[in-house]
């Protein structure tokens, strides 16, 4: 019988012990004596969140497809087990082998969200790996970071040996082969890192340093070895149809956040929203062939027994073969009573027709993301959505039987005025009014409509046109939320509208991390030492501790959030090349301030630079 890392009495003490025992359906167990490389793949959050992440499933399946590699999964222990592991000095372990992470060759950590940064330190600490990369000896695993937050890795650069920039399917084999070759030749940890830095997409932060000007901005960035690259270009999959895909995803024992089969239909987005980092860094749009997706869907459902399949994409409506795929899934999944989930659809007749086919309208709500309350501000952010389209989409939805609508907006967007904020309540009211105008009394389920308007606070992100934009203070954010609430309460249909808003404290901190430099690392380290953990969970977020850490470390929050940036300022992430040129982003920033809309990629190429990858829908790829 397989021995677990945690004693039975410990498992009985903690919430959801199934988080820690492994052995789920489709998990991969290998003979450790028969493999050359052991890799721990970590999502630095609780099991239910990490198990829902497609990227981990892809890399787990890819690495385990190689006979000489064994990849295991690792998640952040929840607060109850965290305390026990520290008290009893139990090292963090991989789920598959139940053996310590520190005995493995690599620890890969996916970086999906800035508010998980203290959890990275928790993982290293519990694994008994030194928190700072420069303090790790020859016997320690190589710590790798990957994911969207690596597009500005500098605030956490001190904690990682290397970062993988871009899509993970392309260079891991080469990286592991170099690791084995260096080991066979008796090379040191430093030798490995120097060689790894020559591999496309690999960034080794300890081999670079920055100097700063008197105003705190970056003066220059210097590499410590002449043969290192000046810029690191992101890795990209050029053929989505042929690339590896996890056809036997691990099936959890307990309910997780996204408990379903996930079918990734395409990468990238044509829309060009100026606030959206994903829409920029995953360019160009690359689709998977519909026949391959049909095969995958059948095989994955058979291999998992799941009762729902979700189509994953930044904008599912833009997948050119969506009709054909859905017709197949409706026919095949209908026979098996499998639900079909379609996130990221736009508000138009086509999307609503699609949703009416796959959703039980009595149970589902409809989600729209206007992002801004006024047309002027939607033009500023290049949302490509008019009020006419929104209201027409709402009318079609109400005719189709939907009675609950969720609306997502952002507060604090560049150039925002009080009129724009009032527009949130006004648009919500118009949508509610559309329901009463569209649906006769005798056909109204429960007699009314429910509009749920939610606002998050705008956070400027690297590699977007808004990377130059000042961010609001906490106080300004809250005032804008109060203005929004007052505006909704003034509406005729206010009883049909519910309003929610995001925490301002967390948004400010996320803003610091998003555009921070290496000086921010000491704040993260100090906050962790003072007990900050699971900052993405509101019940565990300690804003007072974070604020005292910034003060004690002499770091000015406003420097990273509220100050304006010059057009030519050197940003901490400028050494990375995501394919989108700085000239294009600056051009879009100027157009935003003038309220000029840019057409989407399929209507007219904007010359963003992604065509240099010679793949996907870019004109230079054809």
Q: List, for residues 231-253, the tens digit of each pLDDT value.
A: 999 999 999 999 999 999 999 99
For residue 246, what pLDDT is reported?
98
Mean pLDDT, the chain, whole residue set: 94
Specify whether 164 is located in the same domain as 211. Answer: yes
Structure tokens given for 156: 């956490």
Specify whether 94 is located in the same domain as 225. Answer: yes
Given 202, 218, 233, which residue is the final one in a domain?
233
Structure tokens given for 194: 């120097």
Sign of the C-alpha dihedral computed for residues 154, 155, 158 and 163 taken in this order:
negative
Specify whether 369 is located in the same domain as 413. Answer: yes
pLDDT band at 363; cut points 50, 70, 90 = very low
Q: What is the pLDDT of residues 468-514, one digit of tens each?
A: 999 999 999 999 999 999 999 999 999 999 999 988 999 999 999 99
Given 172, 207, 233, which residue is the final one in a domain?
233
Asked whether residue 88 is domain-assigned, the answer is yes
Give the C-alpha separation, 180 to 433, whole Å.
66
Specify whether 588 is located in the same domain as 565. Answer: no
Average pLDDT over residues 107-116: 97
Specify whether 607 is located in the same domain as 460. Answer: no
Cβ atoms within 10 A of the Cβ of 565, count?
A: 15
Specify whether 40 is located in the same domain as 130. Answer: yes
DSSP code string of 211-280:
EE-TTSSEEEEEESSTTS-SSEEPB--S-TTTS---SSPPBPSS--TT-SEEEE-EES-SS--TT-HHHH
Question: Residue 294 in contact with residue 325, Cβ under 8 Å?
Answer: yes
Asked whether residue 349 is domain-assigned, the answer is no
> Total structural domains in the chain?
3
Give the C-alpha separation, 436 to 448, whole Å.
8
Asked whether residue 320 is domain-assigned, the answer is no
Question: Residue 119 in contact with residue 534, Cβ under 8 Å?
Answer: yes
Specify whether 570 is located in the same domain as 594. Answer: no
Query: What pTM did the predictor assign?
Result: 0.96
Asked whether residue 203 is domain-assigned, the answer is yes
C-alpha to C-alpha distances, 429 to 312, 423, 434, nearest whole angstrom: 31, 9, 9
Specify whether 404 is located in the same domain as 455. Answer: yes
For residue 361, what pLDDT is reported?
44
Asked whether residue 263 is domain-assigned, the answer is no
Asked whether residue 508 is domain-assigned, the answer is yes
Please state the length of the chain: 622
pLDDT band at 364; cut points 50, 70, 90 = low
Give the C-alpha separation, 92 to 71, whole Å.
15
Range 184-190, long-range pairs (CB < 8 A, 24+ positions): 188/138, 189/136, 189/137, 189/138, 189/140, 189/142, 189/161
Reading across the β-sheet that carries 202-203, which strands appear in turn?
Answer: 69-75, 37-43, 106-110, 142-146, 162-164, 202-203
Question: Residue 337 in contact with residue 368, Cβ under 8 Å?
Answer: no
Enclosing domain of residue 67: 8-233
Reading across the β-sheet that carries 261-264, which strands appear in turn?
Answer: 261-264, 308-312, 339-341
Question: Residue 437 in contact with residue 559, Cβ under 8 Å?
Answer: no
Average pLDDT over residues 73-94: 98
Given 207, 233, 259, which residue is the final one in a domain?
233
Asked whether residue 288 is domain-assigned, the answer is no
pLDDT band at 362; cut points 50, 70, 90 = very low
Position with higher pLDDT, 231 vs 362: 231
Q: For residue 487, give the CATH number of its domain.
A: 3.30.750.200
Closest Cα to residue 22, out of 93, 82, 79, 83? 93
Structure tokens given for 260: 């379903």
Q: For residue 39, give the CATH number of its domain.
A: 3.40.50.280
Specify whether 491 is located in the same domain as 594. Answer: no
Give the C-alpha separation, 606 to 580, whole Å.
11
Question: Residue 384 in contact with residue 600, Cβ under 8 Å?
Answer: yes
For residue 306, what pLDDT is reported?
92
Specify whether 409 is located in the same domain as 508. Answer: yes
pLDDT band at 620; cut points 50, 70, 90 = low
Q: What is the pLDDT of residues 286-323, one digit of tens each?
A: 999 999 999 999 999 999 999 889 999 999 889 999 98
Q: Strand locations in 44-105, DSSP E?
A: 69-75
Which letter does DSSP use for residue 166 in this model? B
Q: What is the pLDDT of residues 401-450, one digit of tens each?
A: 888 889 999 999 999 999 999 999 999 999 999 999 999 888 886 668 99
Asked whether residue 347 is domain-assigned, the answer is no
Specify whether 479 is located in the same domain as 600. Answer: no
For residue 196, what pLDDT is reported?
98
Specify whether 490 is located in the same domain as 597. Answer: no
pLDDT band at 337; cut points 50, 70, 90 = confident
Residue with tokens 């404290």: 505
Residue 335 pLDDT > 60: yes
C-alpha to C-alpha distances, 523 to 130, 219, 257, 545, nearest whole angstrom: 17, 22, 31, 10
């Amino acid at each position: 019988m397989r021995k677990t890392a945690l004693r039975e009495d410990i498992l009985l003490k903690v919430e959801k012990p199934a988080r820690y025992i492994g052995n789920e359906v489709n998990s991969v167990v290998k003979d450790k004596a028969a493999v050359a490389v052991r890799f721990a793949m970590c999502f630095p959050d609780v099991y239910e969140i990490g198990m829902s992440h497609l990227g981990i499933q892809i890399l787990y399946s890819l690495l385990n497809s190689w006979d000489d590699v064994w990849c295991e999964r690792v998640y952040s222990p929840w607060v109850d087990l965290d305390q026990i592991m520290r008290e009893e000095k139990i090292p963090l372990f991989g789920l598959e082998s139940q053996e310590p992470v520190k005995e493995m060759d690599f620890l890969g950590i996916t970086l999906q969200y800035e508010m998980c940064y203290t959890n990275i330190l928790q993982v290293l600490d519990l694994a008994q790996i030194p928190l700072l990369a420069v303090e790790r000896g020859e016997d320690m695993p190589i710590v790798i970071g990957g994911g969207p937050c690596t597009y500005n890795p500098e605030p956490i650069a001190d904690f990682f040996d290397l970062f993988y920039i871009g899509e993970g399917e392309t260079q891991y084999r080469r990286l592991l082969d170099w690791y084995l070759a260096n080991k066979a030749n008796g090379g040191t940890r430093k030798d490995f890192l120097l060689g790894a830095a020559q591999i496309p997409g690999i960034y080794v932060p300890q081999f670079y340093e920055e100097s700063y000007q008197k105003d705190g901005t970056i003066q220059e960035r210097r590499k410590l070895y002449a043969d290192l690259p000046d810029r690191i270009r992101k890795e990209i999959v050029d053929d989505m149809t042929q690339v590896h895909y996890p056809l036997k995803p691990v099936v959890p024992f307990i309910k997780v956040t996204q408990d379903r089969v996930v079918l990734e239909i395409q990468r990238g987005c044509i829309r060009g929203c100026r606030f959206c980092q994903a829409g920029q860094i995953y360019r160009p749009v690359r689709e998977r062939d519909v026949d391959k997706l049909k095969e995958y869907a059948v095989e994955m459902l058979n291999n998992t027994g799941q009762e729902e399949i979700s189509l994953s994409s930044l904008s599912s409506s833009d997948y050119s073969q969506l009709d054909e795929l859905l017709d197949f899934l409706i026919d095949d999944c209908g026979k098996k009573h499998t639900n079909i989930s379609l996130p990221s659809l736009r508000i138009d007749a086509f999307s609503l027709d699609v949703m009416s086919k796959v959703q039980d309208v009595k149970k589902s709500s409809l989600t729209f993301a206007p992002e801004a309350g006024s047309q002027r501000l939607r033009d500023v952010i290049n949302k490509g959505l008019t009020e006419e389209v929104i209201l027409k989409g709402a009318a079609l939805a109400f005719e189709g039987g939907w009675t609950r609508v969720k609306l997502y907006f952002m507060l604090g967007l560049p150039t925002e005025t009080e009129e724009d904020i009032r527009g949130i309540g006004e648009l919500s009211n118009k949508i509610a009014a559309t329901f009463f105008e569209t649906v006769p009394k005798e056909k109204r389920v429960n007699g009314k409509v429910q509009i749920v308007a939610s606002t998050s606070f705008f956070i400027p992100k690297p590699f977007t046109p808004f990377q130059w934009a000042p961010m609001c203070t906490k106080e300004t954010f809250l005032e804008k939320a109060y203005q929004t609430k007052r505006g909704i309460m003034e509406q005729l249909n206010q009883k049909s509208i519910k309003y929610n808003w995001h925490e301002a404290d967390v948004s400010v901190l996320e803003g610091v991390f998003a555009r921070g430099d290496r000086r921010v690392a000491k704040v993260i380290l100090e906050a962790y030492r003072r007990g900050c953990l699971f900052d993405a969970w509101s019940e565990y977020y300690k804003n007072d501790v974070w604020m005292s850490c910034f003060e004690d470390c002499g770091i000015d929050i406003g420097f990273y959030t509220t100050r304006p940036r010059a057009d030519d300022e050197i940003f901490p992430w400028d050494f990375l090349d995501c394919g989108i040129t700085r000239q294009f982003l600056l051009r879009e920033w100027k157009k935003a301030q003038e309220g000029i809309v840019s057409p989407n990629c399929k209507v007219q190429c904007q010359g963003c630079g992604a065509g240099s990858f010679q793949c996907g829908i870019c004109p230079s790829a054809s």
